[in-house]
């Protein structure tokens, strides 16, 4: 038995289009392989040793150098390609029905009327699918002049509210989002996330700040977090984890300001809780937010190489009783048309101090990670997921 499981989600780091990619308009998407090809190859020796080059054909990653770790890829059974559904499935709670989306025409009149009625706001700006960085520059001046919040969506199932921190202070922006979550985006409009998008700047030049906050739905079923928490084990969330699960099953949390800070916080928790048993669940969002959506293959590749270098420190901080999972929640191919997430397999790399080289194959569901952790801690089985615990012990 391992005392601690550590899940690190490289947000959006997919490894190839799934068989149903055509249903999502994503045929040909392959985040890590395509970006590696675009930059002439990536140098990730740690993940190479763990078998990344055997998960997919990736320029610069030699499959013959795999020496230690379990490797494979996972399919998603949830009908989505977003952060919320991906993380829920990793935790053992796949979605059965898709979230509502508003990409084509923005939010319907009944949603906007309810938002104004419940919040007391006098008007809104936007109401369309847009890039967050572009819409604040497009409508920022009008927002500053009128005080109206900018309401928009994206290709994800999200209701986003952008506001200048000096026009709508953070407490009020968060209040607007909470009202939208609890009283507006409900029933048939229960989208995946309500997101506060604060920004600063002026005169047509605005910049989003790190004070973003997500208000997620609760997972449809119990997760490995619930089972661990109820059994008295620690459940620690780093980055967006608390928000993604609406706090359910998360005993301790710390938000982060980017990947570097996320790894720093993770290492701090690993040290502080060296004698505790349970789960440390980490989301590293910059891969998706800064490089995938912005279609920057070069910087995405650099960030993968940076993270691979950090694996030396992460491994050194692990005890003999730690079990590390490295995976992703969806794809966001920076070489693919558009700025949307992409429907992809995700990598599965597993490491502990005494592991050999293990082929885990193609897993049916992201929920196999949760099932493996459940078996490790001898907890009640969840309805979804197939454990690979015996293969990696």
pLDDT tens track for 25-69: 999 999 999 999 999 999 999 999 999 999 999 999 999 999 999
Tell me the CA distances in angstroms from 136 to 105, 157, 194, 201, one per residue in order.
19, 19, 17, 10
b/e string for 314-341 if b means 16 or more Cβ within 10 A? beebbeeebbbbbbbbbbbbbbbeebbb
Task: Give start-end residues of each CATH 3.40.720.10 domain in the chain.
Answer: 4-96+220-392
**How many residues belong to the chain?**
393
Task: Give start-end residues of each CATH 3.30.70.1250 domain in the chain.
Answer: 109-215
d(CA 98, CA 111): 19
pLDDT at 121: 98
Quick one: CA dihedral 148, 100, 382, 274, positive or negative? negative
> Quick one: which H or E segment has residue 350?
strand 346-351
What would be the CATH architecture of the domain defined by 109-215? 2-Layer Sandwich (3.30)
Nearest to 30 by CA among 59, 65, 69, 63: 59
Beta bridge partners of 322: 4
Regions in the chain scoring below 70 on pLDDT: none
Antiparallel, parallel or unpaired: β 213-216 and 234-238: unpaired
pLDDT at 137: 97
d(CA 257, CA 239): 8
pLDDT at 339: 86
pLDDT at 138: 97
Backbone angles phi, psi at 270, to 5 degrees: -60, -40
d(CA 140, CA 153): 16
Report residue 351 CA to chain centroid gap.
Answer: 21
d(CA 47, CA 32): 12
DSSP designation for 129: E
pTM for this one? 0.88
Q: Where does the chain have alpha helices with state H? A: 31-38, 45-49, 52-55, 83-90, 109-119, 132-146, 170-179, 224-230, 241-244, 259-272, 286, 297-317, 368-376, 389-392
What would be the CATH architecture of the domain defined by 4-96+220-392? 3-Layer(aba) Sandwich (3.40)
Contact 277, 234 (CB under 8 A): yes
């Amino acid at each position: 038995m391992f005392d601690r499981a550590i899940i690190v989600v490289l947000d959006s780091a997919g490894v190839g289009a799934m068989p149903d990619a055509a249903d999502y308009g994503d045929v040909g998407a392959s985040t890590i392989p395509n970006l590696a090809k675009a930059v002439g190859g990536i140098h990730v020796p740690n993940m190479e040793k763990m078998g990344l080059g055997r998960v997919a054909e990736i320029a610069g990653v030699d499959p013959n150098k795999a020496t230690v770790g379990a490797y494979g890829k996972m399919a998603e059974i949830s009908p989505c390609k977003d952060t919320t559904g991906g993380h829920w499935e990793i935790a053992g709670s796949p979605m059965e029905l898709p979230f509502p989306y508003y990409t084509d025409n923005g939010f319907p009149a009944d949603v906007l009327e309810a938002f104004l009625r419940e919040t007391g706001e006098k008007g809104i700006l936007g109401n369309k699918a847009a890039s967050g960085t572009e819409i604040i520059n497009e409508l920022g001046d009008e927002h500053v002049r009128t005080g109206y919040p900018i309401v928009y969506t994206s290709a994800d199932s999200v209701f986003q509210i952008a506001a200048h921190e000096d026009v709508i202070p953070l407490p009020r922006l968060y209040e607007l989002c909470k009202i939208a979550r609890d009283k507006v985006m409900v029933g048939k409009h229960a989208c995946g996330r309500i997101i506060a998008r604060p920004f600063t700047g002026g005169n047509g030049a605005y910049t989003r700040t790190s004070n973003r906050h997500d208000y997620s739905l609760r997972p449809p079923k119990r997760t490995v977090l619930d089972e661990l928490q109820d059994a008295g084990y620690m459940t620690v969330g780093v980055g967006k984890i608390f928000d993604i699960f609406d706090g359910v099953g998360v005993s301790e949390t710390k938000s982060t300001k980017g990947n570097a800070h996320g790894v720093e916080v993770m290492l701090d928790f690993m040290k502080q809780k060296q004698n505790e048993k349970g789960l440390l669940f980490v989301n590293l969002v910059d891969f998706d937010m800064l490089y995938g959506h912005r279609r920057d293959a070069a910087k995405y590749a650099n960030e993968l190489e940076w993270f691979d270098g950090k694996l030396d420190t992460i491994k050194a901080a692990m005890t003999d009783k730690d079990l590390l999972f490295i995976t992703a929640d969806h794809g966001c191919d920076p070489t693919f048309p558009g700025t949307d997430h992409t429907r992809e397999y995700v990598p599965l790399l597993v490491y502990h101090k005494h592991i050999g080289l293990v082929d885990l194959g193609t897993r049916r569901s992201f929920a196999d990670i949760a099932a493996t952790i459940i078996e490790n801690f001898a907890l009640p089985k969840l309805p979804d997921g197939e454990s690979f615990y015996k293969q990696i012990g």
